[in-house]
A and B are shown apart, each in its own frame.
Chain A
């Protein structure tokens, strides 16, 4: 799967309250949640984000709460993938389980806001079309690839329990 989009940059330790504040956790619809994505830390993000864009964070992206509403809100506002130096444990598994594409990339500091990226999820190769650079990430371990390929955890379990 190839993902192409414009970069929105965030810093280290972007937490789940940043991604979606608790006051919006009275609903579960990704599109509705997406209307408030990042609102506490970047009130202009939603004006700037376009369908297919890519979020690039620093270390420990998605730290804090277990709320699956966080990756749902990111999906819901049209973002196609998240790159970060590292992800929190729960955000990591939530993103896998709901099928939000993400990759861990050590060189996120080489990427600037508004850069155009092309991500090949299968090979883990990221092309920075603006800067004409390539970055290589580790592809997902086999087990996680299986879940992603099946379209999320529940589909994977359904297949396994058939």
Chain B
């Protein structure tokens, strides 16, 4: 079990330097300083659960005999994984969330029709802001790190506990800094940066760390690309994937009234490790079966035939993802026999895609345009793979059996690569369309 090595304990001084992760954690617990490896109890700004994880939390909370939740405004319940309910058991799990929300007057319960994929929905609704401390019983809760919030995945019992007193235990993570220099080439974005990073450091390359994404290339990235990056921090084992809030973040949250806190890491803050890459020559990246770290530039993959393409998920189901895919698919037909499944992440994105004519482009190309759901990403519904089938998905995991049969194969890419590959039927560089 890791304890704090003396070398990581800083001497007290007037101005202790801290990273964003440390500053946010410290501001949420009654502490004047904080050290890597320490266990702290902190109050959370928001606690999130979904139709898979909240049922256990609700069960535990009720079993313990509690009659009220700590704050009915700070709990968010989103049935999105197997919703709209894929079968009777899922329906009962979703109903459990609805019933609990009614009973305890949970403000932020999102029924089908208002529902979206949780990690796209919460920022869209202004429920997460920079400086917040968020826990979610879903590993991709780290997505909100893109806004300069400390957001981390926990389990159902953690969620149940937060229902009780609004608190959670944390082991203070060491921070690791990633500096991306240079200018991204056409067709290369946040998804490619994070796939490249995981390919470099491995699926445990940031185990129990807070990743911090910095550098000129990050400063130019739009929010959707940033969300895609922070979303996959967990795929490197990280507890959080942070990007300091800047002008782009401020513009994104301008419509929300609640006051945000903008933290920057101190210049002399301690990082356990610093990685620096010039990404000017980076090609679109693809993670091959069966690990997100098995990453290759798209050009290295020759003739990989694809049966299904999925564009969506909490990684890449945002409007700019759909726009880039539609740009490539406009006026084209997908390969005969291939299935293209496009899933906007929220109702708002769905409507935008309809208004902008993107939905029509996907359908005319031969694809399907679905209601928001996590669905196929975790092998739930809406696109399960049969034996020996190959899928190229803009999702975040390609473990054995992740999207269906343990004998199927999942490749991960950006929406641009996914759209291009849907046309040719083979994994293809979007520049070749």
Contact = CB atoms under 8 A, between A and B. Distances in A.
B403 to A, nearest CB: 9
Question: Which of under 10, 10 to 19, 20 to 34, or 35 or more describes the interface residues of A?
Answer: 35 or more
Contact of A141 (B1, B157, B237): B1
A144 B1 contact: yes
Contact of B379 (A23, A90, A103): A23
Interface in B371-399: 378-380, 397, 399
Contacts of B141: 66
Contacts of B234: 64
A53 B397 CA distance: 30
A64 B379 CA distance: 14
B155 A66 contact: yes
Given A28-B55, A68-B156, A18 B400 contact: yes
B90 interface: yes
Contact of B161 (A17, A88, A157): A157
B237 A63 contact: yes
Contacts of A41: 400, 406
B225 interface: no
Interface residues of B, number: 53
Contact of A27 (B89, B139, B158, B399): B89
Nearest to A103: B1
Contacts of B63: 154
A22 B239 CA distance: 22
A109 interface: no
Interface in A1-24: 13, 15, 17-18, 21-23
Given A63-B204, A67-B155, A161-B164, 18 more contacts: A13-B204, A15-B397, A17-B401, A23-B379, A26-B90, A28-B55, A59-B204, A60-B204, A65-B378, A66-B139, A68-B53, A89-B153, A94-B155, A103-B1, A144-B1, A144-B39, A154-B164, A157-B164
6 contacts: A15-B397, A21-B401, A26-B89, A63-B237, A154-B63, A154-B161
